[in-house]
A and B are shown apart, each in its own frame.
Chain A
Amino acid sequence: MSRGASRLGLLAMIWLAVMVAATVVGQHSLQWAGVFDASSPDYVIFWHIRLPRVLLALAAGGALAASGLAFQTLFRNPLAEPYTLGVASGAALGAVTAIELGAGATVLGLTVVGTGSFIGAGAVSLLILGLAARRRFTTGTLLLAGIALSLTCSALILFVQYRADFTESFRMVRWMMGGVAVVGYREVIWLAPWVIGGWLLLLSLRWDLNLLLTGEEVAASRGVDLSRVRWIVLGSVSAMVGALVAVVGPIGFVGLIVPHVLRRWLGHDHLILLPACMLGGGAFLALCDLVGRLVIAPAELPVGVVTALLGGPFFLWLLLVKR
């Protein structure tokens, strides 16, 4: 327990270091005097371009990792991730439809594309929750239903893309690579309550999630209310992922890999893992975004490309080295 807590402290320091580094480092080198001088361009770059972008990456990455962790435990499946039940495909369908219909304005603090993806994610989530409410639906069946829903949305996305013109089609592909490039705090403020609320709900289930590691049958016999746990996990993950996909797009890999890496390092206690995922996932995504900003400067690599390019080989190495 104490080892877990001290490692969590170390992770918090890494998180803080990444936040500072990702805000300070960039294509444009900052002058410290300028950062605190409101009339200097460095002030705008630091406070209004880099910091909100880093904060968005920290929040989105953390939420993705925590969601992935909760799904992997709930479904007892190492391949489960935040998008397993089709939330991302629903969001993508909403987004490409909004792009196809031609959109530039903003609704409720989100771009129309963001609103479209939020509606898509919400619709898929409600469908999944509706299926989960059926008494005879086991967790395994739910997983399959999610995959079926996801594939259906993907087919519809291809249909919309096929009908789109060249520019729209490019925008759609670009949206699906994900990105945290924002100006100002609007997106961060929009995302924060979803992420904090969803994460706290998951944290309230830490004992239940620990017990689910022993299997549903044993967990239920120890007093875990399986349907309640399922509802809360599905609901909070859908809310978090739906909200974040609307602003950063479907960034892959973070939700799948970060929980695995942290479990290897910290063990299986969700009281430690849930904060660890928030910190580790956030730091990983912010770091990937930093790499994406620097590697082909002055152009930027979409963060979704970097997460998989960095994370894939790293995870493979981890599998080969340990145990």
Chain B
Amino acid sequence: MSLLRASALEWSVGDRRILGPLNLDLELGECLGVIGPNGAGKTTLLRLLAGLERPSAGEVTLEALELSQWESRARAQRIGYVPQLRPMEVPLTVRELLVSARFPYLSPRQFAPSERDFEAVASAAAEVGIESLLDRPLSQLSGGERQTAYVAAALAQASDLLLLDEPTTHLDAGNRRRVASLLLGLRRRQGHTLVVSTHDLRFAGRLCDRILALRGGVVVECGAPDVVLVPEVLESLFEAPFRLWEGGDEILPVLELEGDGQ
């Protein structure tokens, strides 16, 4: 069953078209990767799918109802979003961040979150393994811990669909691995529906059922990882040479650097 559908989706600033026209069907339980060079329109696509921006043309429908028709809290119960760029100074503890993510379930008449909200927060924290960080201020966390906390908050939001914008960018190898393992675990255990934009091609290949390659706002290729993550597609996508690299039972396309093979 199709959960989210984009039809003839376009996004323009003035006369300049940034994205589209683009058609996309997202199945329940599916994981879609979005790759492409900087400025390809990955973030724009995710923001449109999250309902944070109205399309200039076309539409995004969630269960056959156009996103802008959804009441904002009801929409947030279905779609969660972890943006890449977030304010540096958020004066909250991890626990406060997770509790605040229960906003879609809080009524304006309510004076404190309910037991159910605290349970959701506790289970989200347990799922990503940050129980020990709950009372630490966000400002004191490392980049990787902070990213994990935001993923946990999105889980506390308990939406069916989770959109993550470059969740591993700006992280060191150890933290990249931690966040990647976290998302792989979520896929395996919970069967979340995910849309993940990333520059980490190996991570995308491992995590996603389907990969959408964007360039200049237009879909270059969309299909299974072994169709998209091949040197021919990547070379036209990034305008850089790729070659296949064999390691163990995995064959990976890797970026060629000057001086390779000398």
Kindly state the separation between the CA atoms of A218 and B163 in the bound complex, as whole angstroms. Answer: 12
Does A230 make an interface contact (CB < 8 A)?
Answer: no
Q: How large is the interface on B (under 10, 10 to 19, 20 to 34, 35 or more residues)?
A: 20 to 34
A215 B108 Cβ-Cβ under 8 A = no
List chain B residues, Cβ under 8 A from A217: 52, 81, 83, 85-86
B73 at the interface (CB under 8 A from A): yes
Say yes or no: is B192 at the interface (Cβ < 8 Å to chain A).
no
The reply to whether B76 and A214 form a contact with Cβ atoms under 8 Å apart is: no
Instruction: State the Cβ distance, B146 to closest chain A Cβ, in Å.
Output: 12
Check A76–B103 contact: CB distance below 8 A.
Answer: no
Are A222 and B101 closer than 8 Å at their CB atoms? yes
The answer, yes or no, to whether B92 is at the interface (CB within 8 Å) is: yes
Question: Is A222 a contact partner of B86 (Cβ separation < 8 A)?
Answer: no
Do B112 and A268 have beta carbons less than 8 Å apart? no
- Whether A223 sits at the interface, judged by CB under 8 Å, is yes
Which residues on A sit within 8 Å (CB–CB) of B108?
204, 207
The digit string for B93-117, where 1 denotes a CB below 8 A from any CB of A, is 0001100110110101001100000
Interface of A is mostly: loop
The chain B residue with its CB closest to the CB of A210 is B100
Contact check, B76 vs A222: say whether CB atoms are below 8 A apart: yes
A268 touches B103 (CB 8 A): no
- In the complex, how many angstroms separate the beta carbon of A194 from the nearest chain B beta carbon? 21
Cross-chain contact B86 with A207 (CB below 8 angstroms): no
Does A213 lie within 8 Å of B90, measured CB to CB?
yes
Cβ of A233 to closest chain B Cβ, rounded Å:
14
Q: Which chain B residues lie closer than 8 Å to A221 at the CB level?
A: 50, 52, 76, 79-81, 83
Please name the residue on chain A nearest to B112 by beta carbon.
A1
Report A33 CB to chain B, min CB distance, Å: 45
Residue in A closest to B156 when the chains form the complex, CB atoms:
A222
Contact of B178 with A by CB under 8 A: no
The answer to whether A222 and B100 have CB atoms under 8 Å apart is: yes
B75 at the interface (CB under 8 A from A): yes
A220-B52 in contact (CB<8A) = yes
Q: In the complex, A46 Cα to B72 Cα: how many Å?
A: 52
Whole-angstrom CA separation of A268 from B223 in the bound complex: 46
Q: CA–CA, A150 to B103, complex, Å?
A: 35
Asked whether any CB of chain B lies closer than 8 Å to the CB of A225, the reply is yes
CB distance from B100 to the nearest CB of A (A): 5
What residues of chain B lie closer than 8 Å to A214, measured between beta carbons?
86-87, 90, 92, 97, 100
Please list the residues of chain B having a beta carbon within 8 angstroms of any beta carbon in chain A: 50, 52, 72-77, 79-81, 83, 85-87, 90-92, 96-97, 100-101, 103-104, 106, 108, 111-112, 150, 157
